[in-house]
């Protein structure tokens, strides 16, 4: 008995020491990858609670205080929103604490990069406390989340536009035949995928024998944008490149598909899911996994991007810094650079994760709208359809603006 007690104590001590070692290792290299993991964990917890927490929440008196118990979907949505609210508060508090951090000698720099055991405990406590809040607060957060999600999507679009222009400029600056051929080949592949994808959209979402005018309108509008992109980009007065136009065309086509695929499964024009009334656990897992990747990538790129926000004393090179250095030289360079300005805005980084928390909650709840059989699907429902379609239109408008703005305002630098 005594030996077993000693063995258990040793195992517990080793486990704690291992956790501390991992947390310390992450903090010395890069905090961003750890924040990504914590955010991904929050989405997984939200999804699990959405699937299993409804029966338990029905028994909580301050949540189920109604004369008539709501349906299961209401409790599923409420569970996701409460976890999202805890996640949102966690990153918002960090964002407030990090306001004005410009130098790596600032004590708050250590708070940003270290203290991971404390952060995880605080995150768990915040999420736990959210289940004691009255429904009115959660309902208010749901309303605010719709606007926060729109801001996150706007940031995502701006990042994409910056990425494709930077990609094109980088290859053009090489001024070699190989890179010009590469530009042409990538552009050609993007256009082939765009038009092939468009053909599939007509096949899947405008089935014969049904009045699918709204779907036809969405697809045709996307194709019109594709041609407008090419015409404007290749106009002599604009002097643009075909690569950004082709990439944005493919992205807008994807957004159109994503929006149409989010139509309710019982909608007669949603031929993509016409033969599947139920969705397997594997499909749900894949949907959640792609959601995690998309949201985390956007949050990390936005948080470390110098396009959206750059501290006055920050160097431009922060966006090129690897998330997780894999050699000792990178660690040594970090130690030498402790007195230098921070390479990205810590406050803005956490703000993006706060917005991403709202966006992910909307995805997991179908924008908090009941859609019958689709209630158990990730990101399905008419609000989700319109959000994706409008995002595509905003992307098109911003890209065209990025091309014509220098002509309209030649005295300004874009």
The per-residue DSSP string of 280-345 comes to -HHHHHHHHHHHHHHHHHHHHHHHT-TTT---TT--GGGGGS-SS--SHHHHHHHHHTTTSBPSS-
**Neighbour-count burial for 283-309, b at 16+ CB within 10 Å, e otherwise:** eeeebbeebbeebbebbbbbbbbbbeb
Cα separation values, 17 from 22, 313, 319, Å = 9, 38, 33
pLDDT value of residue 216: 94
Structure tokens of 133?
Answer: 């809040």
Q: What is the helix (H) or strand (E) element at residue 187, kind and residue range?
A: helix 177-205
Contacts of 356 by beta carbon, 8 Å cutoff, 6+ apart: 39, 152, 295, 296, 298, 299
Under 8 Å between Cβ of 97 and 349: no
Provide the residue-wise pLDDT of the chain in tens; the chain has 414 residues: 444 344 334 444 444 454 455 444 455 456 788 888 898 889 889 888 888 888 888 888 888 777 777 777 788 888 899 999 999 999 999 999 999 888 878 888 888 888 889 999 999 999 999 999 988 898 889 888 888 888 888 888 888 888 888 888 888 888 888 888 999 999 999 999 999 999 999 988 988 888 889 999 999 999 999 999 999 999 888 878 899 999 999 999 988 998 888 888 778 888 776 544 444 455 556 556 666 666 667 666 655 555 555 444 444 444 444 444 445 444 555 555 445 777 778 888 888 889 889 988 888 887 755 433 344 455 567 887 888 899 899 999 999 998 998 888 877 765
Three-state DSSP at 92 gives: helix
The pLDDT of residue 128? 93
Listed in sequence order, the residues at least 6 apart from 150 whose beta carbon sits closer than 8 Å to its beta carbon are: 387
- Residue 341 φ then ψ, to 5°: -65, 155
Angle between helices 242-261 and 135-173 (to 10 degrees): 150
As a whole number of Å, the end-to-end CA separation of the chain is 74
User: What does DSSP assign to residue 207?
Assistant: -
Q: What are phi and psi of 336, to 5 degrees?
A: -70, -25
Alpha-carbon span 238 to 233, nearest angstrom? 6
Quote the pLDDT of residue 89: 95
């Amino acid at each position: 008995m005594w030996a077993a007690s000693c063995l258990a104590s040793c195992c517990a001590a080793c486990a704690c020491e291992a956790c501390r070692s991992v947390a310390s290792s992450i903090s010395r290299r890069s905090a961003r990858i750890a924040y990504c993991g914590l955010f991904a964990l929050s989405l997984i917890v939200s999804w699990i609670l959405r699937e299993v927490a409804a029966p338990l929440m029905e028994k909580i008196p301050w949540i189920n205080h109604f004369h008539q118990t709501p349906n299961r979907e209401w409790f599923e949505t409420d569970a996701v929103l409460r976890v999202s609210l805890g996640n949102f508060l966690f990153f918002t508090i960090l964002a407030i604490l990090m306001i004005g951090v410009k130098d790596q000698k600032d004590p708050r720099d250590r708070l940003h990069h270290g203290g991971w055991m404390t952060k995880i405990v605080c995150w768990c406590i915040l999420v736990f406390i959210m289940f004691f809040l009255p429904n009115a607060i959660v309902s208010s957060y749901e309303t605010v989340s719709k606007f926060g999600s729109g801001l996150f999507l706007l940031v995502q679009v701006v990042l994409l536009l910056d990425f494709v222009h930077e990609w094109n400029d980088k290859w053009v600056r090489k001024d070699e035949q190989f890179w010009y051929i590469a530009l042409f080949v990538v552009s050609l592949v993007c256009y082939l995928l765009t038009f092939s994808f468009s053909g599939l959209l007509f096949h899947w979402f405008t089935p014969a024998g049904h009045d699918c005018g709204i779907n036809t309108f969405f697809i045709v509008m996307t194709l019109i944008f594709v041609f407008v992109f090419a015409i404007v980009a290749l106009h002599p007065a604009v002097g643009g490149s075909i690569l950004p136009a082709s990439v944005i065309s493919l992205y807008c086509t994807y957004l159109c598909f994503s929006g149409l695929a989010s139509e309710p499964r019982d909608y007669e024009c949603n031929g993509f899911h016409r033969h599947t009334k139920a969705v397997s656990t594997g499909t749900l897992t894949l949907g959640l996994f792609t959601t995690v990747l998309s949201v985390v990538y956007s949050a990390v790129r936005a948080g470390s991007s110098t396009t959206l926000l750059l501290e006055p004393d920050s160097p431009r090179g922060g966006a090129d810094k690897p998330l997780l250095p894999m050699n000792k030289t990178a660690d040594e360079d970090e130690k030498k650079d402790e007195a230098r300005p921070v390479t990205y805005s810590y406050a803005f980084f956490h703000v993006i994760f706060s917005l991403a928390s709202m966006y992910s909650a909307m995805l997991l709840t179908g924008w908090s709208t009941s859609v019958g059989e689709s209630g158990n699907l990730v990101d399905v429902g008419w609000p989700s359809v319109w959000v994706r379609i409008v995002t595509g239109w905003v992307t098109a408008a911003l890209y065209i603006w990025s091309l014509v703005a220098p002509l309209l305002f030649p005295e300004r630098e874009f």
